[in-house]
Amino acid sequence: MSEADAPLENGGPTGPELIAEKVRSLPNAPGVYRMLDKAGEVIYVGKARDLKKRVSAYTKGQGHTNRIARMILATHDMAFVQTASETEALLLEANLIKRFRPRYNVLLRDDKSFPNILITRDHAFPQIVKHRGARTRKGDYFGPFASAGAVGRTLNTLQRAFLLRSCTDSVFDSRTRPCLLFQIKRCSGPCAGRIDEAGYAALVADAETFLSGRSRAVTEQLGRRMEQAAADLDFESAARLRDRIKALANIQQTQGINPQTIEDADVFAISAAHGETCVQVFFFRAGQNWGNRAFFPRHDRSAPVDEVLDAFLAQFYDGHEPPRLILLSHDVPGRALLAEALTLRAGRKIEVSVPQRGEKREIADAAAMNAREALMRRQAESAAETELLLGVQEVFGLEAPPRRIEVYDNSHISGSKPVGGMIVAGPRGFEKGQYRKFNIKSAAGNDDFAMMREMLTRRFARLANTKETGDDAHAPIFDETAQDDTPEKPDLILIDGGPGQLSSALEAFATSGVEGITIAAISKGPDRDAGRENFHLPGRPPFMLEPNHPVLFYLQRLRDEAHRFAIGSHRARRSKAIVENPLDAIEGIGARRKRALLLHFGSAKAIRNASAADLAAVEGVSEALARRIYDHFRA
């Protein structure tokens, strides 16, 4: 790849005139182009088989949709990358869209990796675990599954069926007797020698056979072994095998559609209504249905369905491994190019097709039905949220219904391990991808006011930094029109607390230079009864809402969600602290030296109280390291 052109300085021509100027120096070659606004932000990324011909189309004064016309007028600069082929341009375009998230492109809003099941291969007794992210660990991966919940349920059942361990290698190596999982018949107890390596390898092989789609063979084999055990009057073994067969049957029942003509495939179906779109994805691996997920991409309301699905597919597979077969409910203009690009990336043939008849068509229709129903549910929920937000506007005297509400709460036990939590809500309900937690650092003791002040100061200092650098601190959350963009600040802030917390929040605002945001505190009413909450706003006396007011129920739900998130974050921090060792914070102390110190002194407390000379007497600890350990505990 090579840059075909560099962005011009601001102050020159814009819109069609700028684009016409750029066209003169463009080659008749494939590549990717970017359109930038006056602030230098990328507003559109596109690909072309012929850059000169494609970009010149934007210079025509007619034939454009309103969205394209707005985009052309907003263009103050352009940049180009020439590629070796149109296939390479497609891959680069998807990567740049995910990187810059331009407002005029179709955007995949939820592009996190899908969970898999991993059977490790770096230990004599392999572990079966959930895995998400890059496949860097040695082992066999099975997936993707549609959700972490689906993986968790399948793992629980697989443990009952195949008795494979789920503990970490460090826990495995340190045990001398079986854990509770062995007692409840969900592990074969290899850590305590209750099964030898060959017997455990047979269990692993059965699990791999089942996950590879040959579930009937595994079930029949277990059935024959159960009958033989019963014939030998070994009823205890027969009962164990019966339980394993029941566990396998449970997995097969909960998988729903298990096609006869599909081994590995992803099925995509799209449904559109009232300017919104749902893309439903079904995952089939080893002839088994491993779940489905609905996506709601952000795009212009006038964008055609095939264009949305085409852009969605390229972005979806920018971070996911494609199967050998991809089935679509609707044809897309770039289907052949997508198949070629995915084949190039995967190093094996990838087929992208639109089935017309048979079982594949039935599955595509089933996915389309799910897409329609998911979109209807989302729009119904959106209508209800809109009514509630209109009520919030009236209650707090806002100029318009809030599009972004941030709710803050903190959690601690007598000041220890304090954590602040921020949740976000808007027209689409809770935006869980934008939740944030704050490990409180400067607030001392049981001072809720100082904790709130620190949390808000850090939050809005981050917003100020975002304005200065132009970084996108939040993923886009609205998809109503192409003009919609991520708001720089919330429309409403809610704080769990009373006048004291409100005063602390106002101090944080003054410190950060924040203006133009409505802020309110919600305090418990008399006897802490739900429904009798007091609302506190600057310059207004406290007030209450009617106990059956729908906006009151909505605000209670927001407050309770913030409370739940803050408590969960605090518990996670506290649990982590329980297993932390103070030696971990000392540079130069690895696993070997930590073990030597603990074996020599018996506990971390004894190490803390040891002299530098005693520390230096431990094998592997130099005098310099001993002094560092000694100084660390006395700093």
| Residue among 91, 32, 49, 140 nearest 350 (CA) | 91
| Residue among 413, 406, 408, 264 nearest 324 (CA) | 264
Q: State which residues of the chain have pLDDT below 50.
A: 1-9, 254-256, 466-487
CATH number at residue 544: 3.30.420.340
Domain annotation covers residue 85:
yes
- Among residues of the chain, what percentage have pLDDT more than 70? 87
Do 589 and 569 sit in the same domain of this protein?
no
Do 572 and 609 sit in the same domain of this protein?
no
pLDDT score for 250 = 60
Q: 322 burial class (0-12, 13-18, 19+ CB within 10 angstroms)? A: buried
Do 464 and 372 sit in the same domain of this protein?
no
3-state SS, 14-37, equals CHHHHHHHHHCCCCCCCEEEEEEC
Domain annotation covers residue 386:
no
- Angle, nearest 10°, between helix axes 305-316 and 335-346? 0
Domain annotation covers residue 259:
no
pLDDT score for 281 = 92
| φ, ψ for residue 248, nearest 5 deg | -65, -40
- DSSP states along 108-144: -S--PPPPEEEEE-SSSS-BEEEE-S---SSEEEE--
CA gap 480, 159 in Å, rounded:
45
Do 307 and 443 sit in the same domain of this protein?
no
Cβ within 8 Å of residue 248, ≥6 positions away: 157, 161, 210, 215, 218, 219, 222
Residue 544 three-state SS: coil
Do 219 and 319 sit in the same domain of this protein?
no
pLDDT score for 471 = 42
Do 568 and 436 sit in the same domain of this protein?
yes
Last residue in a domain, options 533, 561, 577: 577
Last residue in a domain, options 70, 100, 130: 100
CA gap 129, 134 in Å, rounded:
14
Domain annotation covers residue 384:
no
Do 493 and 563 sit in the same domain of this protein?
yes
Report the sign of the C-alpha dihedral through residues 413, 415, 419, 424, in that order. positive
Do 50 and 64 sit in the same domain of this protein?
yes
pLDDT score for 463 = 64
Domain annotation covers residue 221:
yes
Cβ within 8 Å of residue 200, ≥6 positions away: 125, 126, 164, 188, 190
Phi-psi category of residue 196: left, alpha or beta, with phi > 0 → left and psi -120 to 50 → alpha? beta
Do 573 and 458 sit in the same domain of this protein?
yes
Domain annotation covers residue 396:
no
Strands 429-430 and 416-426: antiparallel
| Residue among 559, 145, 466 nearest 320 (CA) | 145
Q: 125 lies in which domain range?
A: 116-254
| φ, ψ for residue 401, nearest 5 deg | -60, 135
pLDDT score for 479 = 31
Domain annotation covers residue 387:
no
Domain annotation covers residue 152:
yes
Do 164 and 223 sit in the same domain of this protein?
yes
Q: What is the pLDDT of residues 349-369, one digit of tens each?
A: 999 999 998 889 999 998 999
Do 48 and 64 sit in the same domain of this protein?
yes
Q: How many domains does the chain have?
A: 5
Do 370 and 417 sit in the same domain of this protein?
no
* Beta bridge pairs of residue 281: 268, 293
